[in-house]
Amino acid sequence: MSHDPNCIFCKIVQGQIPAKKVYEDDDVIGFHDIHPWAPVHFLLIPKQHIASMADLQPEHAPLLGKMSVLVPRLMKELGVTNGFRTVVNTGSDGGQEVFHLHMHAIGGPRPWLKG
């Protein structure tokens, strides 16, 4: 599995940096965002280093499908029952700050209205 030794998320995957995990299996890891926008805000990332959505290939489709199916399950387990937001920032102009593909899962009463 590929990784980037300078990537903060790869370091989380390898256990070099601690994270408050909400999920982990052979392919993905989920952990709470360190600057949450809502009562529940976690990131779901592939363990394989993929820089962004723009770098996805057809063989990554099962991985993205898995991530998309996991988010609602994890939100429910974390007590979010009245909706949530899923965001994937892609590239600098798309607001991506860490160049390791990650899906934000943000739950709670309209957290994106935060001022």
* Residue 2 forms part of a structural domain: no
For 29-58, give one letter per residue: b (16+ CB within 10 A) or e.
bbbebeebbbebbbbbbbbbbbbbbeebee
**Which sequence positions are flagged as catalytic?**
102
* Residue 3 forms part of a structural domain: no
pLDDT over 90 at 114, yes or no: no
The domain total for the chain is 1
* Residue 83 forms part of a structural domain: yes
pLDDT over 60 at 17, yes or no: yes
pLDDT of residue 111: 53
pLDDT of residue 5: 86
* Residue 87 forms part of a structural domain: yes
Rounded to two decimals, the pTM is 0.91
* Residue 45 forms part of a structural domain: yes
Q: Tell me the HSE value of 4 on the side-chain side, using a 13 A CA sphere.
A: 12
Domain of 13? 8-113
Supply the mean pLDDT for the chain.
Answer: 93
For 90-111, write each residue's pLDDT tens digit. Answer: 999 999 999 999 999 999 866 5
| CATH number, domain with residue 51 | 3.30.428.10
* Residue 49 forms part of a structural domain: yes
Of the pLDDT bands very low, low, confident and very high (cuts 50, 70, 90), residue 33 is very high
* Residue 59 forms part of a structural domain: yes
* Residue 1 forms part of a structural domain: no
